[in-house]
Amino acid sequence: MNLIDRYVREIGRQLPQKTRADIEKEIRSAVEDMLEDRSKKDGRAIDEEMTIAVLKEYGNPDTVAASYLPEQYLIGPQLFPIFWLVTKIVFAVLTTLAVIGLGFALFGGEPVTTAAEFWKGLFTDILGEYFSGMMAAFGNIVLVFALIQRFATGWEFKEKDEEKDWNPRDLPDVEDVDQVKIGEHIAEIVFIVLGLIVFNFYPEYIGIYGFADNERFFAPILSNAFFSYMPWINLLWGLQFALDVWLIQQRRWQYGSRLLLMAVKAGNAALAYAMLKGPSILGLTPDVLMSEMHFTADGAQSLAMLLAQVVKWGLIIAIVAGAVDVIKALVQMVRSQRTPVTA
């Protein structure tokens, strides 16, 4: 076996089976052409020394093989800005919950007796739960984005400066209401997946961890009434997930996708209205505050009333936001139908 055969074989050994034969043929042809040119230029026959020089010039087999392989990313450069934004938002939420838990521990119950007990509770309970929550959240976010990077082959995550065929007619209009913002929908997919995982498989972790009177406590934020709505939440989030995936693939809003968006937003508003009129979805009741966090009766009652008002107005805002989203989608649908196609 001559040097060219060995060289081509070493490169082909690292290539996918599907494209190996064509690439080996291409490399062999290129090397042989280089040898012929070198032979004519030097005015002598091809020998082993000339072959070695040409092969060195062509490149190390590992480097050449790598140039034919697709770039491998856990999270590619096109997805990384969205990944980093989602990570910062989730970490901010977890940090806020940890601070709230610390505040309840410091001011809600009876004070700890010694400084040693305080620091022990702080580091073993609140900070321990905080960092374990951070690690779990980060792992789930990385997993979701890695799956998107791996399997969303039709979404075309490419380098921004990559050269490709394009047509000026394909450029979006300055006010193109049908243009899809890919990043927003990818972020929404990630939040939906994380939300579905947490609410369906780890509902027991949705709450406030801390310590009071030298004892650890856990106060659930959401009541059983909230989880009775999970079939509807799963349905609406599932429809939103499907819509986001469809929009990312199509890259443009269409009549059907806007109708589905309006249905989902109307469903969200209706669900928020049902929560507003139904049993309280808040798990931080006076009894929980007194039994778990050792609040006084008056303090627990006052805080529970305050939190109930926050939830009430949050649901009202959700209803209004859902109605606004429906109207906005309807207006954009009408604008899209009226927009003329210009050259």
Residue-wise pLDDT tens digits, 35-73: 899 888 888 888 888 888 888 888 888 888 888 876 667
Q: 39: domain range? A: 3-68
Would the pLDDT of 26 be above 50?
A: yes
Q: What is the mean pLDDT of the chain?
A: 79
Q: What is the pLDDT of residue 262?
A: 93
Residue 1: band (very low, low, confident or very high) from pLDDT cuts 50, 70, 90: very low
Q: Are residues 193 and 98 in the same domain?
A: yes
Same domain, 60 and 194: no
* DSSP symbol at 122: I
Where is the domain boundary, 68, 99, 121?
Answer: 68
Q: In this predicted structure, what is the pLDDT of residue 240?
A: 93
Q: Is residue 165 part of a domain?
A: no
Could you read off the pLDDT of 264-309 as tens digits, one per residue? Answer: 999 999 999 999 999 999 888 888 878 777 778 888 888 888 888 8
How many CB atoms within 10 Å of residue 200? 12
Domain count, the chain: 2
- In this prediction, residues 146-164 reach a mean pLDDT of 58
Output the CA–CA distances (angstroms, integers) from residue 243 to 1, 189, 238, 312, in the order listed.
Answer: 57, 10, 9, 29
pLDDT exceeds 90 at position 158? no
Query: Quick one: average pLDDT of 232-253?
Result: 90
| Final residue before a domain boundary, out of 15, 43, 68 | 68
Residue 222 lies in a domain: yes
Question: What's the pLDDT score for residue 261?
Answer: 92
**222 and 277 part of one domain:** yes
Query: Looking at residue 293, what is its pLDDT?
Result: 72
Evaluated on CA atoms 259, 261, 267, 269, the torsion sign reads negative
297: three-class secondary structure by DSSP: helix
147 found inside a domain: yes
Residue 170 in any domain: the answer is no
CA nearest neighbour of 53 among 65, 67, 35? 35
**pLDDT at residue 290 in the model:** 83
Convert the pLDDT of each residue in 307-331 to its tens digit: 888 889 989 999 999 999 999 888 8
Residue 169 has pLDDT above 70, yes or no: no
